[in-house]
Amino acid sequence: MAQYDYIEIKIPAKAQYVGVARLMISGIASRLGFTYDDIEDLKIASSEAITNAVQHAYGGSGDGEIVVGCAMYEERLEIMIADHGSSFDFEETKKHIGPYSAASEERFQREGTRTLFNGDAYG
């Protein structure tokens, strides 16, 4: 098994603490020599995942906690974001969102990119 260092924080499931986790992740990535663009990508992806846990795992109540862990290997960084909140019924949700198609995924990616670059998502 590969050797690694591991750092973990637990934050309250509240939106105001998302930035704390982002700072930890960006600091670790910087320390490991990631490029500026890669660090920005990590910050966006981790913000999305943590915000999802804040909004959905605990119903936006602020109760509970989110665990953010970073495993630093020689050749990679693994980021884990976990919560112990409620889940959803995947099969039931799938019934309400319609059929999957490559065209719908492409449209979703295009709209997501447009939102990101227009600043609507974070501005």
SS3 labels along 53-119 = HHHHHCCCCCCCEEEEEEEECCCCEEEEEEECCCCCCHHHHHHHHCCCCHHHHHHHHHHHHHHHHHC
pLDDT range class, residue 118, cuts 50, 70, 90? very low
Domain match, 44 and 95 both: no
pLDDT range class, residue 14, cuts 50, 70, 90? very high
CA dihedral over 107, 88, 57, 24, signed as positive or negative? negative
Domain match, 105 and 76 both: no
Nearest by Cα to 24 from 6, 4, 51: 6
Residue 91 is predicted with a pLDDT of: 79
State the residue range of the domain holding 112: 88-123
- CA 98 from chain centre, in angstroms, equals 25
pTM above 0.95, yes or no: no
Residue 90 is predicted with a pLDDT of: 73
Residue 20 confidence (pLDDT) above 80: yes
CATH number at residue 47: 3.30.565.10
Domain match, 63 and 118 both: no
Domain match, 110 and 59 both: no
pLDDT range class, residue 122, cuts 50, 70, 90? very low
State how many domains the chain has: 2
Domain match, 63 and 92 both: no
Domain match, 113 and 72 both: no
